[in-house]
Structure 1
């Protein structure tokens, strides 16, 4: 195996999500965006293939070329181990905006500070400060 990379499929908001994550995370950088051209007018300008690096994790992103009945689910999430209370609070504040909170930022028996939330794109994040 050469590599294994998470891939997220959006319904028309992949580029918006990539830009949002690049702004949200201090160590994020959009590495590549290839868009559909005018050969398919319904998809023109949408992301055919994109890649963003967050910290040292490459994440592929794309807009679906066909309608589907599924979306993101909280059973699959990105787990972030934060370095400071300020960092976890920053990510919590940014990611919860227009999203949903599954577990509010708090002290839990297994963690000094932990939160589980879903961002405005439906992607789920677990934030931890051990």
Structure 2
């Protein structure tokens, strides 16, 4: 199995509702599997979750996602959003479909950028749905190279301002199966974005297309555990390599989670994690770990 990355989104007890909404809202969407908390052996702070849904693996618009069903300790924010590309060259009714999805996502949510015409697109808007997840809907240029329907998108602001190019280069070096896509730079300073920083870029990380940009306005949020990236490793040696490269904040290390030099949260997990977690007592042992040690699971 090759290295893969999968965005993980943290929900405050409503992951099942979110999964039902997304699979109804988006084409090419379905639930792959649902995992439940163990019925016993949970730490005190999780005892009320015994037997409830822990994670839901699903595909949303062709993009694999994992929804984590937990409490309100962490919440997603616009630092990592999901860009949805509506391409008129592939869908003659792209504009109509964009507007339909916008209406569904905006219901009960919060508009971050109004749906309308912008210099970069004739139809674009940024919305936070009722679960707190951010989506950028864009009518793309049919003359451009095709991209996936849904792309995880990183906004480098606050303490990570103007570091998108640095992060792109670092991630491509660390993650196998990665390469650069298109890049557009700010020709002059705009807000906190300095001249030459990244207005927009896209790239492939471990086989998954993502987008990155430096914020052109001051933001009051930055990367966190609300949206993390799970990266699979074939064996303990690869877990060790990825952990050494991605973990830069010792106090954030727990249960295979770590935080990199830019503040982005990662989960470094063995590719057979499901099989390992089926062993008796594995959940309790995982909760005591920082970096995952396969032999101890």
Match runs of 1:1-130 below 5 Å: 3-10=149-156, 11-38=161-188, 40=190, 43-96=194-247, 98-104=248-254, 115-129=256-270, 130=273
Say if 1:100 and 1:119, in contact at 8 Å, map to a contact too: no
**Structure 1 spans left out of the alignment, 5+ residues:** 105-113
For 1:57 and 1:100, the matched residues in 2 are separated by 27
For 1:64 and 1:117, the matched residues in 2 are separated by 24
- 1:81 offset after TM fit, Å? 1.9
Q: Which has the higher contact order (CA 8 A, sep 6+)?
A: 1
Deviates further, 115-124 or 31-40: 31-40
Judged with a 3 Å threshold, the aligned counterparts in structure 2 of structure 1 residues 24 and 67 are, in CA distance, closer, same or farther, namely: same
For 2:251 and 2:268, the matched residues in 1 are separated by 12
**Structure 2 spans left out of the alignment, 5+ residues:** 1-26, 28-85, 87-148, 274-297
C-alpha RMSD of the superposition: 2.0
Say if 1:50 and 1:61, in contact at 8 Å, map to a contact too: yes
Judged with a 3 Å threshold, the aligned counterparts in structure 2 of structure 1 residues 69 and 102 are, in CA distance, closer, same or farther, namely: same
Say if 1:101 and 1:116, in contact at 8 Å, map to a contact too: no
For 2:174 and 2:252, the matched residues in 1 are separated by 20
For 1:23 and 1:81, the matched residues in 2 are separated by 16
Judged with a 3 Å threshold, the aligned counterparts in structure 2 of structure 1 residues 40 and 72 are, in CA distance, closer, same or farther, namely: closer
- 1:57 offset after TM fit, Å? 0.7
For 1:46 and 1:39, the matched residues in 2 are separated by 8
Deviations 1:33-56 (A, max 9, x none): 210103759631010001120122
TM-score (norm 2): 0.38
Aligned residues: 120
Find the residue that maps to 2:167 and give its secondary structure. Answer: helix
Find the residue that maps to 2:239 and give its secondary structure. Answer: helix
